[in-house]
A = this chain, B = another copy of it.
């Protein structure tokens, strides 16, 4: 049976990009089932894609093939890669998108795809999701060995982002905003609980100003309109306003720095 393919991109749902990738996968590996992770990653936001992918990987079985296409450098020299990590497969551009995946597995391996080893007639310079990544994912889904279509390289040669960045400054812990969800909740660049007391007050310093929040288990533990900081259901530190939009409240966007100081 073909391996499940989980497909994430910033293609949007309006143009015929997603469907053409799916059509190519069907052609190359007819039995492959494709689950859409999301195609609404903010255009070109590599760290947004990393966060969404990292949050979802563990929920799928081993041998799943993750096809991840957030690829501002399409047509340039960035390499098309296959990664084996966490007992699963990952296919996409070598631009840091898979950083949280291979950093979580010391025995991760990587290959650079040889485009002309793929069963495609033509490779456009603007749509590698359809012409390179999709075909490679389809072959893996049907059980192909990565060595047949790609050359192994050192995992250390891969581009990596600072998705999990934090810096202590005196009693403050500074992180970056890596994602804003549909409710305006702010996800920070730390994937483990804060070493601060539950129930305690935390001062929040953002580009928009200074705020005070409560360190809680979930946003329903603060009053309406109040700021809460907690570990979200994917393991990341998150700031939310109960029944409100924290990103507007704090005036922050992806990439901004936020510093937390226990009071």
A residues adjacent to B (C-beta < 8 A): 6, 11-16, 18-20, 22-24, 26-27, 35-41, 43, 52, 55-56, 59-61, 74-76, 124-127, 130, 181-183, 217-220, 232-234
Chain B residues lying within 8 Å of A23, measured Cβ to Cβ, are 35, 56, 59-60
Chain B residues lying within 8 Å of A232, measured Cβ to Cβ, are 126
How distant is A254 from chain B, measured CB to nearest CB, in Å? 13
- Judged by DSSP, the binding face of A is loop
Chain B residues lying within 8 Å of A11, measured Cβ to Cβ, are 182
How distant is A37 from chain B, measured CB to nearest CB, in Å? 5
> How many copies of this chain are found per oligomer?
3
The answer on a CB contact under 8 Å between A40 and B14 is yes
The answer on a CB contact under 8 Å between B126 and A24 is no
In the assembled complex, the Cα of A12 lies from the Cα of B126 at a distance in Å of 27
Given A35-B19, A59-B20; A130-B233 close (CB under 8 Å): yes
Chain B residues lying within 8 Å of A27, measured Cβ to Cβ, are 59, 61
